[in-house]
Each structure stands twice: as C-alpha cells, then as structure tokens.
Amino acid sequence: MSPFQKFQEWHQNRHQYAQEWKARTGGKVLGYFCTYVPEEILYAADVLPVRILGSHEPEDVTEPHIFAMFCPFCRDCLAQGLKGRFDYLDGIMISQSCLHIRQAFWSWQLHIPTSFSYYLPMPHHVQSPRAQDYLRGELAQFKGAVEGWTGRTLTDADLDRGMEIMNTNRRLMKQVYELRKAPNPPLVGADAMEMVLSSQMTDKREHNQELAALLEKLPQQKRDGDPPVRLMIIGSEDDDVAFIKMAESLGAVFVSDDHCTGTRYFWNEALPQEDRLMAIAQRYLDRTPCPTKDWPERRRFQQILRLAKEYGVQGALLIQQKFCDPHESDIPQLARLLKENGIPSYFLEFDMTVPLGPFRTRVEAFLETLREEDLF
C-alpha cells in the first residue's frame, strides 16, 4: 500500500469527505476560489475551508455565464457549482487574484446562493509599504463578517489556534518536500500533488496527523533503478494528476514545482506577533506571489531559481492554462532566466479538452533532449 494512499482517497472523495465532516462535527464548510484566502481565520472559527477545483471533464453549462476566452480552469470550477457538486457548501469566498477566477466567483454567487459569500480585496501591489496596514484592515473586516456568520467572537487564542493548524501543515509538507532532494526521491510528483491537493480539501488537523505518520516511514523508503530525469513544473493552477503520472511514466520525476497547488500554497508561515491579524496579513503579502502580484521586483522568479538549484532540477516544464494572461506574460522572461542558469525549459498549454496523447509525445521529446545534453 502506498504511504500516500490516504491523501489519494481524500482527493478523489473530496465531496464525500466534506459532507461526512459536516455530519460529524456540525460545523460549516466554506468553498474558496484562491489560495490568497486567509484560512487561519476560518480555522479559528472552526469552519472547514475547501478549495473549489474543477473535475477535468468537458462541460457545457458555463457558456452563458463566463467568457469563452477565460481560462478553462475557472470555467471548470464554475461548472462544478452549476452541476450541484458543491451543494453542501454553507458559504463561498474569494480573495482578489485574477479576473477570470473572480468571474467564476461572481457567477457562482449569483446562481448558486449560499448563506455567506465574501469578496476579500487582497491588494495586487503586495510590495507597497501601505499594503500591510491595508490588508490588516481588510482582515479585521473579514474576521467581523465570519463572527457575524458563525455567531461567535474570535479571540486571540482562536487566531493562535488557526495559525498553528496552518503553520503545522505547511511545516510538515515542507519536510516531505525536503525528501525530494534525494538522488532517487522516495516520492514522485504525483504523490506530492495528491498530498497538497488533499490538504486543500480536508481538515488540516487530520491532514497533519497523516503527514506526521508519513514522515515516520517515508525517509526509509528507497527507490530502485536508474535515477530518473529531474523535472520542475511551473505555472498556472494545475491539479492535473493524470498529466503528472503520464510524464513520470516516461522516466522522469518531478522534484519541485511553482504552483498554487504546490509550493506557492504552503511555503511560508505566519510568524507569531502580538497583532495576530498583522501576522496573517504579512504571511499572505510575503508568500511566493502569484504573477498578478509579483511586481515591481520579480520575487517569484528568484524563488523558482532557488528551488530549481536546491532540488537539482535538470529541466522545467512551463505550463499555462489556455488564456491565462498572468502566467503567459511571465513565460518568455522565465524561460530566459532558466536558460541563463543552465536549466532548459519546455512550454505546454493546458486545456482539459485536449487529450493526454499529444502531450505525451512532446514531453517524451523534451526528455530525450535532456538526456542527450547529459551525455555531452
């Protein structure tokens, strides 16, 4: 049995998990659209945050609600709501990120009403000296709205608990990622992706217990055979486990990533300070940014380079959800930066309506060039 089986089960049965959690605890479940949502405040209120992600099936229900030239991911997310797959949600929210996913949120709010719906104006200019006070103020308003919704006042002790749950989860997942630095890592990219995805869909207290148990046994696991080609995957939202498995079946292993279903989600912690809301605000302003928030200094690029070097990356796949402007604008500059640092990259445009076959041929060709470069 794979040590990652529980994470796979949680990911595959995410709706069942949330419904059972509700029945078991009597608590509220909130669906969120972007990883800039401050889950610390939701955990402080004993609300279960679950990320709204797509199902990767072709759909025909979003056409009247969302532009066809918005990314397939945001349409897939909205389709889940319109098809009733998230009927158990008590509330929804978004933190401002990109226009596409915001449209999915507004449309969901209009057509699938819930008792709580919140738009958090997360600043784009996260490097501005005014961003901290601004976001702290917004978090105070959000905390007030959650208190009104749940009927309970959130104390500093509650916020400390929320931060501790989140930080523990981040720390443990980082320890698992650390094992990916080994020449033949004891986990593959698909395992890592299932681990992070399941953390976005389950009660992190349970997830933390599973992570602690995993870390007891994983370091002793050894993989046989030749070391695979070490890849990094970078870009738009990506929860495409089937793609990762396909690429890894070709003699590669993903050892790191820059995804909001990966390192961008959990890499940094909220550092304790007297003003709890400021601690949370700083955490979200200082995290590895989404391209919509990565200016004027390109902090995401530096983080990508750091990861690529630390994890011994031989090549990078740069992926973009079709029509994803924020990531698309970054790709030429990123490819150049990687090349200057001796890391070849290959660009792929994702669209869930495209079958895996053509991707297989292209990834195979990329791996071939990496192996040839290794020979000379």
Minimum distance, C-beta of residue 72 to ligand SF4, in the bound complex (Å): 8
Q: Does 236 bind ligand SF4 (CB under 6 A)?
A: yes
The answer to whether the beta carbons of residues 2 and 187 sit under 8 Å apart is: no
The C-alpha atoms of residue 272 and residue 128 are separated, in whole angstroms, by: 22
Q: Does 94 bind ligand SF4 (CB under 6 A)?
A: no
Q: Does 51 bind ligand SF4 (CB under 6 A)?
A: no
Interface with ligand SF4 (CB under 6 A), residue from 29, 50, 71, 363: 71
C-alpha pair distances (Å), 373 with each of 229, 280, 292, 315: 12, 45, 34, 11
Q: Which residue is nearest to ligand SF4 (CB)?
A: 324
Nearer to ligand SF4, 68 or 375 (CB): 68
Q: Which stretch binds ligand SF4 (CB under 6 A): 40-48, 86-94, 213-221, 318-326?
A: 318-326
Q: Which DSSP helix (H) or strand (E) runs through 217? A: helix 204-217
The C-alpha atoms of residue 319 and residue 317 are separated, in whole angstroms, by: 6
Residue carrying the six token digits 């590895």: 288
Interface with ligand SF4 (CB under 6 A), residue from 321, 343, 346, 366: 321
Interface with ligand SF4 (CB under 6 A), residue from 50, 53, 74, 247: 74
Q: Does 100 bind ligand SF4 (CB under 6 A)?
A: yes
The amino acid present at 68, given as its one-letter code, is A
Q: Does 28 bind ligand SF4 (CB under 6 A)?
A: no
Q: Which stretch binds ligand SF4 (CB under 6 A): 68-76, 78-86, 141-149, 163-171?
A: 68-76
Nearer to ligand SF4, 44 or 319 (CB): 319
Number of residues in contact with ligand SF4 under rule CB under 6 A: 12
Q: Does 327 bind ligand SF4 (CB under 6 A)?
A: yes
Interface with ligand SF4 (CB under 6 A), residue from 191, 194, 210, 237: 237
What Rg, from alpha-carbon coordinates, does the chain have? 20
How is residue 360 written in tokens?
């297989």
Nearer to ligand SF4, 70 or 311 (CB): 70
Interface with ligand SF4 (CB under 6 A), residue from 42, 50, 101, 247: 101
Q: Which stretch binds ligand SF4 (CB under 6 A): 60-68, 70-78, 131-139, 223-231?
A: 70-78
DSSP percent split of the chain into helix, strand, coil, nearest 5: 55, 10, 35
The C-alpha atoms of residue 99 and residue 112 are separated, in whole angstroms, by: 19
Distance of CA 252 to the CA centre of its chain: 22
Burial 268-290 (b: 16+ CB within 10 A, else e): bbbeeeeebbbbbbbbbbbbbbb
The C-alpha atoms of residue 50 and residue 33 are separated, in whole angstroms, by: 9
Question: Which residues sit at the interface with ligand SF4, rule CB under 6 A?
Answer: 71, 73-74, 98, 100-101, 236-237, 321, 324, 326-327
